């Protein structure tokens, strides 16, 4: 999975990667040459007292060191830049995919894991890419090159290396093998911590109201403890790594010095060659360490890559049309034909055989018991989700064929749970129509019965709005959300229980102002309160996902049992008549 992900996302960086490989190659070759040069200077210059040799080869050594350092700095800087760019591309790819998700895929993953996957998981892959850029070339060259150079210094002594490399490789890979599953668990537990944390922050008010702080603290402590547990377990294994490597290094250095001393004694080897041999031994161990470090990162990055790829492989269920309709003739005629919808994994569809027509200049109300499918029905019009049966048509064209931007301009949905973005009142109101003038904003606020409230804010339209609109009341949020849709000036207005947080007087004032404002538009209102919809031109009664009645208030009161029950549950008999 990691390979697949990287192959796709490293593709555009072929040239920088080639340059990186070259820089790494040069710096590793220079590093490998230095101990041999040093040995030469000792054996041919220092031992023989040849100052000329020391100076001239000292200069060569300095030049090689400069090349090695320059290539090293270049490789590190270039590697950091390229890996950061790969990380940026990967984050954008995940973000774009998440953006294309409908409510259906969003529900399938859940917000916290999508956030972890876009940030933390991408970061892990990015770190591995950086490691790979730095170590993938240098580690093997240094290991093989080190062995070759050591053989060049003294063949019999190189026997030590034959023992060191496999011992080091096996002991380190044993540790890495145990680390692999721990890293997967760590990532999953980090996800759980994020989920619990997010739930507790979002549900903070409920937690306080129910005085469940203690319970929630325990829940978080549990998730946090489990994450710590696995971090500690991996920490313990990692702690083993350094001593194991150092023991092997120390033992092999002793062996090299011991054998080397014998060979120098017997005149088979020179002192400079022994120092070079020790330097190569260190370089080989370093190379094995570097490779190990990378192998250690791979399992974690693999888990992250899998999770990222899962998001990237998830096809959005709502896709833009291949040949979109870019113009709609009409003024907002809305029709649902035999429309049905089933949530993924659900046995029963929540909407079945819905036939509904809403015309410009008319108000259509949808009423039904809670869970009867009203919100689902509205979300099919702007394609927050696509019908699984039948079709939804706007001005006679299936919404699935309409260009998304055109559909968004034509259909304005005021959601049941309005969301405001961090910014100002004005930036929120202009969300669907960035060119709207201040006068247009004030007019929309007036219709939405929010003008007085915004006027009372010291900074008026420029008053700050917190993320999610948490610094305004529920009713104010609803009214700002209504105003935002009014500024957009769509042909079809969909109000999903948008007046529920308003008092009766404001609700009535808003509806009459809205009626004037949206005189020529198509208005669909989902409401729980009968008073909100009793004057509608057409009332559609929904029960368990089916339309069980259509008519005006008095007609339905006469012949629709479901409607009568809803009305009577809210009004006194006298009011109902």
Residues that bind ligand ATP (CB under 6 A): 107, 343, 346, 350, 368, 370-376, 416
Beta carbons of 155 and 113 less than 8 angstroms apart = no
Give me the residue label for tokens 């959005």. Answer: 316
- Residue 378 C-beta: closest distance to ligand ATP, Å: 8
- Residue 209 C-beta: closest distance to ligand ATP, Å: 21
Beta carbons of 555 and 525 less than 8 angstroms apart = no
- Residue 507 C-beta: closest distance to ligand ATP, Å: 17
Query: H or E segment at 353?
Result: strand 351-358
What's phi and psi for 460, nearest 5 deg? 55, -125
User: What tokens were used for 438?
Assistant: 């201040």
DSSP letter assigned to residue 325: B
- Residue 110 C-beta: closest distance to ligand ATP, Å: 11
Q: Judged by CB, which is closer to ligand ATP: 187, or 375?
A: 375
Residue 157: CA count within 13 A, CB half-sphere = 32
Q: Judged by CB, which is closer to ligand ATP: 192, or 500?
A: 500
User: What tokens were used for 504?
Assistant: 């009766």
By three-state DSSP, how is residue 337 classified? Answer: strand
Q: Judged by CB, which is closer to ligand ATP: 79, or 373?
A: 373
Q: Judged by CB, which is closer to ligand ATP: 5, or 527?
A: 527
Distance CA 116, CA 108 (A): 15
Q: Judged by CB, which is closer to ligand ATP: 375, or 485?
A: 375
Q: Judged by CB, which is closer to ligand ATP: 114, or 223?
A: 114
User: 3-state SS string over 39-106?
Assistant: HHHHHHHHCCCCHHHHHHHHHHHHHHHHHHHHHHHHHHHHHHHHHHHHHHHHHHHHHHHHHHCCHHHH
Closest CA to 373 of 343, 399, 347, 394: 343
Q: Judged by CB, which is closer to ligand ATP: 122, or 367?
A: 367
Closest CA to 488 of 383, 402, 412: 412
Distance CA 368, CA 374 (A): 7
User: What tokens were used for 477?
Assistant: 């949020």
Burial (CB count <10 Å: 0-12, 13-18, 19+), residue 7: exposed
- Residue 541 C-beta: closest distance to ligand ATP, Å: 12
Q: Judged by CB, which is closer to ligand ATP: 185, or 416?
A: 416
- Residue 551 C-beta: closest distance to ligand ATP, Å: 19
- Residue 417 C-beta: closest distance to ligand ATP, Å: 10
Query: H or E segment at 543?
Result: strand 538-543
Distance CA 267, CA 262 (A): 9
User: 3-state SS string over 120-149?
Assistant: HHHHHHHHHHHHHHHHHHHHHHHHHHHHHH
Q: Judged by CB, which is closer to ligand ATP: 74, or 107?
A: 107
Give me the residue label for tokens 């007036």. Answer: 446
- Residue 388 C-beta: closest distance to ligand ATP, Å: 12
By three-state DSSP, how is residue 393 classified? Answer: strand
- Residue 377 C-beta: closest distance to ligand ATP, Å: 7
- Residue 358 C-beta: closest distance to ligand ATP, Å: 17
Q: Judged by CB, which is closer to ligand ATP: 153, or 478?
A: 478
Q: Judged by CB, which is closer to ligand ATP: 182, or 350?
A: 350
- Residue 372 C-beta: closest distance to ligand ATP, Å: 4
> Where are the extended beta strands (E) located within 402-521?
411-414, 423-424, 464-465, 492-496
Q: Judged by CB, which is closer to ligand ATP: 5, or 98?
A: 98
Q: What is the DSSP string of 255-287?
A: HHHHHHHHHHHTTSS-HHHHHHHHHHHHHHHHH
- Residue 475 C-beta: closest distance to ligand ATP, Å: 18
DSSP letter assigned to residue 330: S
């Amino acid at each position: 999975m990691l390979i697949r992900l990287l192959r796709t996302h490293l593709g555009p960086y072929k040239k920088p990667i080639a340059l990186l490989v070259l820089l790494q190659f040069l710096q590793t070759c220079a590093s490998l040459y230095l101990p041999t040069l040093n040995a030469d200077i000792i054996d041919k210059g220092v031992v023989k007292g040849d100052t000329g040799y020391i100076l001239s080869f000292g200069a060569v050594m300095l030049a090689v060191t400069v090349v090695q350092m320059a290539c090293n700095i270049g490789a590190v800087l270039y590697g950091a830049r390229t890996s950061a760019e790969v990380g940026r591309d990967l984050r954008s790819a995940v973000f774009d995919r998440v953006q294309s998700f409908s409510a259906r895929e969003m529900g399938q993953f859940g917000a916290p894991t999508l956030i972890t996957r876009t940030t933390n998981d991408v970061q892990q892959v990015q770190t591995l890419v950086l490691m790979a850029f730095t170590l993938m070339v240098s580690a093997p060259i240094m290991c093989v090159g080190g062995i070759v150079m050591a053989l060049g210094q003294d063949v019999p002594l190189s026997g030590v290396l034959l023992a060191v490399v496999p011992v080091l490789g096996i002991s380190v890979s044993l540790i890495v093998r145990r680390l692999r599953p721990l890293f997967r668990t760590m990532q999953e537990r980090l996800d759980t911590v994020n989920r619990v944390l997010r739930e507790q922050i979002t549900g903070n008010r409920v937690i306080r109201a129910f005085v469940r702080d203690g319970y929630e603290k325990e829940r978080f402590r549990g998730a946090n403890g489990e994450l710590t547990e696995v971090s500690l377990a991996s920490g313990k294994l990692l702690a083993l790594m350094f001593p194991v490597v150092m023991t092997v290094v120390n033992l092999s250095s002793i062996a090299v010095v011991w054998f080397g001393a014998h060979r120098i004694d017997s005149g088979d080897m020179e002192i400079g060659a022994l120092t070079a041999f020790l330097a190569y031994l260190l370089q080989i161990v370093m190379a094995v360490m570097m490779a190990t470090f990378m192998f250690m990162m791979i399992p974690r990055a693999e888990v992250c890559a899998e999770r990222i790829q899962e998001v990237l492989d998830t096809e959005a269920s709502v896709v833009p049309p291949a040949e979109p309709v870019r113009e709609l003739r009409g003024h907002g005629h809305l029709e649902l034909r035999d429309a049905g919808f089933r949530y993924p994994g659900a046995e029963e569809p929540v909407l079945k055989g819905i036939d509904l027509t809403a015309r410009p200049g008319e108000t259509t109300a949808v009423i039904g018991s809670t869970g009867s499918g009203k919100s689902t029905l509205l979300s099919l019009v702007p394609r927050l989700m696509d019908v699984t049966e039948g079709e939804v048509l706007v001005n006679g064209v299936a919404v699935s064929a309409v260009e998304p931007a055109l559909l968004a301009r034509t259909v304005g949905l005021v959601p049941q749970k309005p969301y405001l973005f961090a910014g100002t009142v004005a930036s929120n109101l202009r969300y669907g129509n960035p060119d709207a003038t201040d006068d247009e904003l004030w007019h929309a606020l007036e219709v939405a019965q929010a003008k007085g409230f915004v006027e009372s804010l010291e900074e008026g339209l420029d008053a700050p709005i917190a993320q999610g609109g948490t610094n305004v009341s529920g009713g104010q949020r609803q009214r700002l959300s209504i105003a935002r849709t009014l500024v957009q000036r769509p042909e079809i207005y969909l109000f999903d229980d948008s007046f529920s947080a308003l008092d009766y007087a404001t609700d009535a004032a808003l509806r009459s102002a809205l009626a004037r404002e949206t005189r020529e538009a198509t208005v669909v209102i989902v409401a729980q309160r009968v008073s909100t919809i009793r004057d509608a031109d057409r009332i559609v009664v929904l029960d368990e996902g089916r339309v069980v009645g259509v008519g005006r208030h008095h007609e339905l009161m006469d012949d629709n049992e479901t409607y009568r029950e809803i009305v009577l549950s809210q009004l006194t008999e006298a009011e109902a008549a």
